[in-house]
Chain A
Amino acid sequence: MAADPFDPARPWRLSPEVSLRDEPFGALAYHHGNRRLVFVKSAALVDLVRRLGEFATAADALGELVEAGQRDRYVAALARLAAGELIGVD
């Protein structure tokens, strides 16, 4: 199954196949299905990824949890996670 392209207007959440473990640099995310290991390199991104499912869309989550000037960076980070299927559309 190909990964969905990242569209912030859709409802994204952490894949149920992913284990997320806090680490000094942020977190490690491991997808048990495709065996991908990803370094989530900031505590703020870890928090965003964990809480994505609480919001109707990723854009809503970004609006609530990320400062306006930082959002482009976080969109890029979420797009990378989407490409690895670590986050998926509900």
Chain B
Amino acid sequence: MSTEAGLRDRLEGGLNAPICLTWELTYACNLACAHCLSSSGRRDPAELTTAEAKALVDELAAMKVFYVNVGGGEPMIRRDFFDIVEHAVERRVGVKFSTNGTRLDAAAARRLAAMDYLDVQVSIDGADAATSDALRGAGSYAAARRAMDHLAEAGFAGFKVSVVVTRDSVEQLDALEALAASYDAELRLARLRPSGRGVEVWDALRPTADQNRRLHAWLVERPHVLTGDSFFHLSPLGAPLEGLNLCGAGRVVCLIDPVGDVFACPFVIHDRFRAGNVRPGGFAPVWRESALFAELRAPGNPGACASCGSYDACRGGCLAAKFFTGLEASDPDPECVFGHGERRLATTRVELRPRPSIDHSRVVALGAPVRLR
């Protein structure tokens, strides 16, 4: 539809403020997930203070940023976690936060359930402990299920069960849907991206082409399953999926990291995609004036996808997936449903892929137990 295409062009040209942004509160995490987008583990000593975090919330409220996706690291590790999110909600900046659930006890669940404009996503990466713990560490699945139990007992309606789709978890979609339904919760699926530590597992764990086809068909039948616009690269398979179906990086979304650095999206924590920092003059000048965001908002170049009749369905796919697999922005998505990305990938060398330039991973001996508290 021409108006929709026109609107998408406008969105790609950027907005006065992001629709939403991801705000990682800390790089500290008590888990060490194999696919962590932000290579989290150790707290960074330069993380925003409570006062700086609240001032940032005030600025986001003034810009009418509707909500923030709060993550980390594990955001609940910050001692001022409730202080910050309650401040945001009071200023009518909605909060959707992601947690591994390990700090979400009965008292925390009751406090969360009492707040308006707040959504919680508890992460598991499979429908059973064996599948999920393989990525997230021993004991992490049981801890997440306890958190879900606490939320349900506290009467928190409609929390989200958040799952990264891998070669293994994609075979458990029906079980995951049933698990979410058993809590009266919503299922949220996200794409496995080669970002952060994810680059180490992406080749082995990304869904196969056949699995991606089945995933698309499964999602088309279930518009109630949330995806955060994660799978728009699959839209050329048939019906477009729910969402804007475009790369929002620096256009409608961005990321603020724990030290105040602003990146184009949550999946590109890398110097190449750093737009600035909120500390000198706040967030607004970075959003409105950064050279990087101007570049990302310039009229798109379909590049290698120009001759493909489906460019309008996927707009060339995910910038982060291309960057961290060594492809150019003008290349097809590495998981292009027509195999154009695979063919292009075959011409690149794995050892030449960009390495994460920012890494807070803890040094953990292989096989060491993950400390949950």
| Residue ranges of A at the interface with B (Cβ–Cβ < 8 Å) | 19, 21-25, 28, 30, 32-33, 35, 37, 39, 41
The answer to whether B94 and A24 have CB atoms under 8 Å apart is: no
Cα–Cα distance between A28 and B65 once the two chains are bound (Å): 10
Cα–Cα distance between A38 and B92 once the two chains are bound (Å): 17
**Chain B 1-40 interface mask (CB, 8 Å, partner A; 1/0):** 0010001001001011101000000000000000000000
Chain B contact residues, majority secondary structure: loop
- Chain B interface bracket (under 10, 10 to 19, 20 to 34, 35 or more): 10 to 19
Residues of B within 8 A of A28 (CB): 15, 19, 66
Cα–Cα distance between A23 and B10 once the two chains are bound (Å): 10
Given contacts A32-B92, A35-B94, A41-B7, contact A22 B66 (CB under 8 A): no
Interface presence of B81 (CB below 8 A): no
- Interface of chain B residues 84 through 123 with chain A (CB within 8 A): 92, 94, 116-117, 119
Cα–Cα distance between A21 and B117 once the two chains are bound (Å): 18
- Interface of chain B residues 20 through 70 with chain A (CB within 8 A): 64, 66-67
**The 10 residue pairs across chains A and B that have the minimum distance between CB atoms:** A30-B66, A21-B64, A25-B10, A32-B117, A19-B64, A23-B15, A23-B16, A32-B94, A19-B66, A24-B10
In the assembled complex, the CB of B19 is this many whole angstroms from the nearest CB of chain A, namely 7
A/B interface sample: 13 pairs, CB < 8 A: A19-B64, A19-B66, A21-B66, A24-B10, A24-B16, A28-B66, A30-B67, A32-B66, A32-B67, A32-B117, A35-B94, A35-B119, A41-B7
Point out the residue from B16, B94, B116, B117 that lies within 8 Å of A22, measured CB to CB.
B16
Cα–Cα distance between A32 and B372 once the two chains are bound (Å): 34
Point out the residue from A22, A30, A39 that lies within 8 Å of B7, measured CB to CB.
A39
Residues of A within 8 A of B94 (CB): 32, 35
| Residue ranges of B at the interface with A (Cβ–Cβ < 8 Å) | 3, 7, 10, 13, 15-17, 19, 64, 66-67, 92, 94, 116-117, 119
Cα–Cα distance between A37 and B92 once the two chains are bound (Å): 15
The answer to whether A41 and B3 have CB atoms under 8 Å apart is: yes
Cα–Cα distance between A22 and B17 once the two chains are bound (Å): 10
Residues of A within 8 A of B116 (CB): 32-33
* Of listed B13, B16, B116, residue having the most chain A CB within 10 A: B16
The answer to whether A21 and B17 have CB atoms under 8 Å apart is: yes
Cα–Cα distance between A21 and B16 once the two chains are bound (Å): 8
Cα–Cα distance between A70 and B19 once the two chains are bound (Å): 30
Given contacts A19-B64, A19-B66, A32-B66, contact A25 B7 (CB under 8 A): yes
